[in-house]
Amino acid sequence: MKQAKGKQGYDVIGDVHGHADKLASLLVKLGYRRKGDAPFVHPANRQAIFVGDLINRGPKVRTTLQIVREMEKVDSCRVILGNHEFNLLGMETTGRDGKPLRPRSPSNLHQIKNTRKSFQDFPKEWKAMLKWLRKLPLSLELTGLRIVHAAWHPPSLKVIAGRTFEDEEFLENAFSDAKAEAKAVKITLKGIKVNLPKGKKNVDRFGVTRNKARIRWWSNPCKKSFRELLFPPLSNVSRKKKPMANDLSIVVPYAKRNRPVFFGHYCLPEHVPKINGNTTCVDGCVTCDGKLWAYQFDGEKIPSENKLVHAV
């Protein structure tokens, strides 16, 4: 366990996705201040924690990263890697076979287009940014709380413990389905998914159709239906049908005795509760709903709804 020296609390901030103006507004609402071009800092010595997915979708990716990186330099924030940063690294890194680790398909390139556009006139910054992303941890375990992008899954975290993508072999293995690192990174950054019942589809909030859906990885799946397990919920699935046992075999429920864990990734509609016991999702889908969320953590063992904060 680690705790930032002298920090008086943490503000856990959800997926920013290039919405720099909303990030600045949220930081001000949380009490952070800056003078001129200086980094945002909190007068009470609090520290922001970003759960990943700083890039893509929004109009000001470069500005977002400038804000965050300047804060990090003065110990005003910490950052972990999200699946969007991971995907970007894969497309911008060549493997031993001479091909990008992640295919540059039209759909994959579409995902990163705003990020590339934001840096198109700043090639040196682009290289520096990619180098910085490689240094980011995939999780944080601090005094009183845990941070991960999508799922706190102990078997996966054991595989990747202490590793970053500065390690070329680790990065390449993370994109090789046959490797244990690939499975561990996928669960950590993308969560646990189950196959939907035959004939059912999951159309996400960006119009992408899938035959799988994410689940409440912290919950004991025993005897639970699709309707009870999916996160966020889907209204078109059965209240009675249950996922296949094979899909659920890797689930490790998050014990109530554990310290609170905070994560992003799930693009939650506003009506879906963000807090479930000692687990909190701070991703309120800023691109779709126009709100960027954070949680003000002060050591409590059970998070409270009244400590969620958002900016529009």
Q: Is the model's pLDDT at 5 over the cut of 70? A: no
* Averaged pLDDT for residues 210-216: 94
Amino acid at 111: Q
Chain segment 150-199, per-residue pLDDT in tens: 999 999 999 999 999 999 999 999 999 999 999 999 999 999 999 999 88
Best CA proximity match to 13, nearest among 303, 299, 300, 296: 296
| The predicted structure's pLDDT at residue 238 | 77
Determine the longest span between alpha carbons in the chain, in angstroms.
Answer: 57
Chain segment 264-306, per-residue pLDDT in tens: 999 999 999 999 999 999 999 999 999 999 999 999 999 999 9
Q: Domain spanning 10-153+257-311 has what CATH number?
A: 3.60.21.10
Lowest mean pLDDT among 57-61, 77-81, 230-234: 230-234
- Could you identify the residue written with the tokens 């693009």? 267
8 A C-beta contact, residue 161 and residue 277:
no
| The predicted structure's pLDDT at residue 198 | 86
Ranges of each domain in the chain = 10-153+257-311
Q: Phi first, then psi: give them for residue 145, nearest 5 degrees.
A: -155, 165
Best CA proximity match to 275, nearest among 224, 216, 235: 216
Amino acid at 155: P
Residue 9: partners with Cβ closer than 8 Å, 6 or more residues away: 44, 46, 47, 296, 297, 298, 299
Residue 209 binned pLDDT confidence (cut-offs 50, 70, 90)? confident
> How much of the chain, in percent, has pLDDT values that exceed 90?
90
Whole-number average pLDDT of the chain: 96
